[in-house]
Amino acid sequence: MDDIIQGKAYVLGDSIDTDQIIPAAHLVYSMTVPDERKQYGRYALSGLPTDQQGLPEGNLPFTPDDMFESEYRIVIAGSNFGCGSSREHAPFSLMVAGAKAVVAQSYARIFYRNAVDGGFIIPFESRLRLVDHIRTGDEIRIDVRAGLLTHVEAGEEWLLNPLGDIADILKAGNVFEYARQAGFMK
Protein backbone atom coordinates (compact mmCIF):
# COMPACT_ATOMS: atom_id res chain seq x y z
CA MET A 1 0.00 0.00 0.00
CA ASP A 2 1.49 3.35 -1.08
CA ASP A 3 1.85 6.01 1.61
CA ILE A 4 1.25 8.85 -0.81
CA ILE A 5 -0.82 8.79 -3.99
CA GLN A 6 -0.55 11.82 -6.23
CA GLY A 7 -1.76 12.57 -9.73
CA LYS A 8 -4.55 13.91 -11.87
CA ALA A 9 -8.17 13.40 -10.86
CA TYR A 10 -10.85 11.95 -13.13
CA VAL A 11 -14.29 13.03 -11.95
CA LEU A 12 -17.50 11.02 -12.40
CA GLY A 13 -21.12 11.13 -11.27
CA ASP A 14 -23.27 8.69 -9.27
CA SER A 15 -23.93 4.97 -9.71
CA ILE A 16 -21.14 4.30 -12.18
CA ASP A 17 -21.87 0.63 -12.90
CA THR A 18 -19.39 -2.05 -13.90
CA ASP A 19 -20.66 -2.10 -17.51
CA GLN A 20 -19.49 1.51 -17.75
CA ILE A 21 -16.19 0.71 -16.01
CA ILE A 22 -15.43 -2.18 -18.36
CA PRO A 23 -18.07 -3.16 -20.97
CA ALA A 24 -18.91 -6.86 -21.04
CA ALA A 25 -17.69 -7.37 -24.61
CA HIS A 26 -14.09 -6.90 -23.41
CA LEU A 27 -14.25 -9.46 -20.61
CA VAL A 28 -13.03 -12.13 -23.03
CA TYR A 29 -9.42 -10.98 -22.64
CA SER A 30 -7.05 -12.87 -20.39
CA MET A 31 -6.12 -10.96 -17.22
CA THR A 32 -2.59 -12.43 -17.25
CA VAL A 33 -1.37 -12.78 -20.86
CA PRO A 34 0.40 -9.40 -21.30
CA ASP A 35 -0.89 -8.61 -24.81
CA GLU A 36 -4.46 -9.22 -23.68
CA ARG A 37 -4.10 -7.82 -20.17
CA LYS A 38 -3.23 -4.36 -21.48
CA GLN A 39 -6.62 -4.21 -23.25
CA TYR A 40 -8.17 -3.67 -19.82
CA GLY A 41 -6.25 -0.40 -19.57
CA ARG A 42 -7.37 0.59 -23.04
CA TYR A 43 -11.05 -0.02 -22.36
CA ALA A 44 -11.22 1.13 -18.71
CA LEU A 45 -14.25 3.42 -18.26
CA SER A 46 -14.96 3.16 -22.00
CA GLY A 47 -18.62 2.43 -21.32
CA LEU A 48 -19.29 5.94 -20.00
CA PRO A 49 -21.71 8.00 -22.07
CA THR A 50 -19.50 10.66 -23.71
CA ASP A 51 -21.05 13.56 -21.79
CA GLN A 52 -20.14 11.78 -18.54
CA GLN A 53 -16.50 11.19 -19.48
CA GLY A 54 -14.59 13.36 -17.01
CA LEU A 55 -16.80 15.93 -15.29
CA PRO A 56 -17.72 18.66 -15.39
CA GLU A 57 -16.88 19.15 -19.08
CA GLY A 58 -17.31 15.59 -20.36
CA ASN A 59 -15.89 14.26 -23.61
CA LEU A 60 -12.58 13.45 -21.90
CA PRO A 61 -11.89 9.74 -22.39
CA PHE A 62 -10.19 8.11 -19.38
CA THR A 63 -7.75 6.38 -21.71
CA PRO A 64 -7.20 8.09 -25.08
CA ASP A 65 -8.10 6.12 -28.21
CA ASP A 66 -5.65 3.34 -28.98
CA MET A 67 -3.64 4.00 -25.81
CA PHE A 68 -3.29 1.50 -22.99
CA GLU A 69 -2.64 3.79 -20.06
CA SER A 70 -4.55 6.69 -18.61
CA GLU A 71 -3.03 9.99 -17.47
CA TYR A 72 -5.41 9.98 -14.46
CA ARG A 73 -4.38 8.40 -11.15
CA ILE A 74 -7.34 9.09 -8.87
CA VAL A 75 -11.00 8.58 -9.73
CA ILE A 76 -13.41 10.88 -7.86
CA ALA A 77 -17.03 9.75 -7.89
CA GLY A 78 -20.41 10.22 -6.23
CA SER A 79 -22.41 7.46 -4.55
CA ASN A 80 -22.81 3.74 -5.35
CA PHE A 81 -19.61 3.45 -7.39
CA GLY A 82 -19.14 0.05 -9.05
CA CYS A 83 -22.72 -1.15 -8.86
CA GLY A 84 -23.88 -4.00 -11.04
CA SER A 85 -21.97 -7.11 -11.90
CA SER A 86 -19.41 -8.97 -9.81
CA ARG A 87 -16.72 -8.65 -12.49
CA GLU A 88 -13.38 -8.23 -10.81
CA HIS A 89 -12.25 -6.94 -14.18
CA ALA A 90 -13.70 -3.56 -13.08
CA PRO A 91 -11.21 -2.55 -10.34
CA PHE A 92 -8.58 -4.52 -12.28
CA SER A 93 -9.08 -2.41 -15.42
CA LEU A 94 -8.74 0.83 -13.41
CA MET A 95 -5.45 -0.50 -12.00
CA VAL A 96 -4.14 -1.61 -15.40
CA ALA A 97 -4.94 1.85 -16.77
CA GLY A 98 -2.78 3.31 -14.00
CA ALA A 99 -5.28 4.42 -11.37
CA LYS A 100 -4.22 3.99 -7.75
CA ALA A 101 -7.34 4.99 -5.85
CA VAL A 102 -11.02 5.78 -6.12
CA VAL A 103 -12.60 8.32 -3.79
CA ALA A 104 -16.38 7.95 -3.74
CA GLN A 105 -19.23 8.78 -1.39
CA SER A 106 -20.21 5.11 -1.31
CA TYR A 107 -19.59 1.84 -3.12
CA ALA A 108 -21.52 -1.16 -4.30
CA ARG A 109 -20.55 -4.08 -2.11
CA ILE A 110 -18.92 -6.43 -4.60
CA PHE A 111 -16.80 -3.77 -6.30
CA TYR A 112 -15.50 -2.59 -2.95
CA ARG A 113 -14.66 -6.10 -1.90
CA ASN A 114 -12.98 -6.94 -5.22
CA ALA A 115 -10.86 -3.79 -5.08
CA VAL A 116 -9.64 -4.71 -1.61
CA ASP A 117 -9.32 -8.50 -1.79
CA GLY A 118 -7.47 -8.36 -5.09
CA GLY A 119 -5.33 -5.45 -3.89
CA PHE A 120 -6.05 -3.55 -7.12
CA ILE A 121 -6.87 -0.03 -5.95
CA ILE A 122 -7.73 1.65 -2.67
CA PRO A 123 -11.44 2.48 -2.40
CA PHE A 124 -11.61 5.55 -0.17
CA GLU A 125 -14.88 6.91 1.08
CA SER A 126 -15.57 10.59 1.52
CA ARG A 127 -18.55 11.95 3.41
CA LEU A 128 -18.34 15.14 1.37
CA ARG A 129 -19.39 15.07 -2.26
CA LEU A 130 -15.96 15.85 -3.73
CA VAL A 131 -17.39 15.66 -7.25
CA ASP A 132 -18.63 19.22 -6.61
CA HIS A 133 -15.20 20.46 -5.52
CA ILE A 134 -12.76 18.79 -7.89
CA ARG A 135 -12.53 19.00 -11.69
CA THR A 136 -11.12 16.41 -14.04
CA GLY A 137 -7.41 17.11 -14.51
CA ASP A 138 -6.89 18.76 -11.10
CA GLU A 139 -3.76 17.58 -9.28
CA ILE A 140 -4.68 15.65 -6.13
CA ARG A 141 -2.58 14.17 -3.36
CA ILE A 142 -3.77 11.53 -0.88
CA ASP A 143 -1.85 10.86 2.31
CA VAL A 144 -2.99 7.26 2.75
CA ARG A 145 -2.04 6.85 6.41
CA ALA A 146 -3.57 10.15 7.47
CA GLY A 147 -6.61 9.68 5.23
CA LEU A 148 -6.15 13.21 3.95
CA LEU A 149 -6.92 14.37 0.42
CA THR A 150 -5.32 17.61 -0.78
CA HIS A 151 -6.19 19.71 -3.82
CA VAL A 152 -2.63 20.65 -4.70
CA GLU A 153 -3.21 23.93 -6.52
CA ALA A 154 -5.97 25.29 -4.28
CA GLY A 155 -4.37 23.93 -1.11
CA GLU A 156 -7.74 22.72 0.13
CA GLU A 157 -7.77 19.62 2.31
CA TRP A 158 -10.48 17.09 3.05
CA LEU A 159 -10.47 14.22 5.54
CA LEU A 160 -11.49 10.85 4.10
CA ASN A 161 -13.30 8.17 6.11
CA PRO A 162 -10.96 5.77 7.95
CA LEU A 163 -10.31 2.57 5.95
CA GLY A 164 -11.33 0.49 8.98
CA ASP A 165 -11.21 -3.32 8.74
CA ILE A 166 -10.00 -3.36 5.15
CA ALA A 167 -6.74 -1.61 6.00
CA ASP A 168 -5.35 -4.95 7.22
CA ILE A 169 -6.05 -6.63 3.87
CA LEU A 170 -4.67 -3.68 1.91
CA LYS A 171 -1.55 -3.67 4.06
CA ALA A 172 -1.10 -7.42 3.56
CA GLY A 173 -1.31 -6.84 -0.22
CA ASN A 174 -4.35 -8.97 -1.00
CA VAL A 175 -6.73 -11.42 0.65
CA PHE A 176 -4.35 -14.35 0.18
CA GLU A 177 -1.59 -12.75 2.20
CA TYR A 178 -4.19 -11.70 4.74
CA ALA A 179 -5.56 -15.27 4.92
CA ARG A 180 -2.04 -16.63 5.43
CA GLN A 181 -1.52 -14.21 8.29
CA ALA A 182 -4.91 -15.18 9.74
CA GLY A 183 -3.99 -18.86 9.55
CA PHE A 184 -6.58 -19.93 6.97
CA MET A 185 -3.99 -20.61 4.31
CA LYS A 186 -0.47 -21.98 4.27
> In terms of Cα–Cα distance, which of 156, 99, 85, 153 is closest to 126?
156
Please say which residue, 24 or 128, places its beta carbon nearer to another protein.
Answer: 24
Residues facing residue 4 across a β-bridge = 143
| The only residue of 9, 60, 74, 83 in contact with another protein, by rule CB under 8 A | 83
Please say which residue, 139 or 177, places its beta carbon nearer to another protein.
Answer: 177
Please say which residue, 9 or 104, places its beta carbon nearer to another protein.
Answer: 104
Interaction with another protein in 12-41: which residues (CB under 8 A)?
A: 15, 17, 19-20, 23-25, 27-32, 36
Distance CA 42, CA 77 (A): 20
Please enumerate in sequence order all residues whose Cβ is within 8 A of that of 107, keeping only pairs 6 or more positions apart, or say none.
Answer: 80, 81, 82, 115, 123, 125
**What x-and-dash track marks residues 36-75 binding another protein by CB under 8 A?**
x----------xxx--------------------------
> In terms of Cα–Cα distance, which of 171, 172, 130, 140 is closest to 3?
171
| H or E element in which residue 42 lies | helix 39-42
Residues that bind another protein (CB under 8 A): 15, 17, 19-20, 23-25, 27-32, 36, 47-49, 79-80, 83-89, 106-110, 113-114, 117-118, 165, 174-176, 179, 182, 184-185
